[in-house]
Copies of this chain bind each other. A is one copy, B any other.
Amino acid sequence: MTPASRLDAAFSALADPTRRAILARLALGEASVLELAEPFSMSQPAISKHLKVLEQAGLISRGRDAQRRPCRIEGKAFAEVEEWLENYRRFWEGQFRQLDALLVELKAARKKSKSGNARQPKKA
């Protein structure tokens, strides 16, 4: 799977509130399918489908304990999401608007210097 399609899978898996609730439960420790299904007014196959989505996104993995298939969180996929978000951190940490404007100016300046007539950045 390409990095892009892994992000597709992770983000779309995380877009469902039932699946996020399942992850919240798993953050407390491993759980079986029936244990995970219990809080929801939803059939067991529906939960199994959600778990399949989470597993294919790499957000959980499943073991074997007799008939039970205990689920646990897998950190790696979360880390990839976090890493992607990292690229946008500056947009919510303080001075983002100014930095944005700066980048626009830099780009404009580069374009102008290519075409040979340098221009002053407009007033801040």
Contacts and interface: CB of A to CB of B under 8 A. Distances in A.
Interface of A: 4-5, 7-8, 11-12, 14-17, 20, 23-24, 27-30, 72-76, 78-79, 81-82, 84-85, 87-89, 91-93, 96, 100-101, 103-104, 107
A78 B82 contact: no
Copies of this chain: 2
Main secondary structure of the interface of A (DSSP, over half): helix
A15 B15 contact: yes
B75 A91 contact: yes
Contacts of A73: 88, 91, 100
B92 A30 contact: no
A24 B16 CA distance: 24
Q: By CB atoms of chain B within 10 A, which of A74, A76, A100 has the most? A: A100
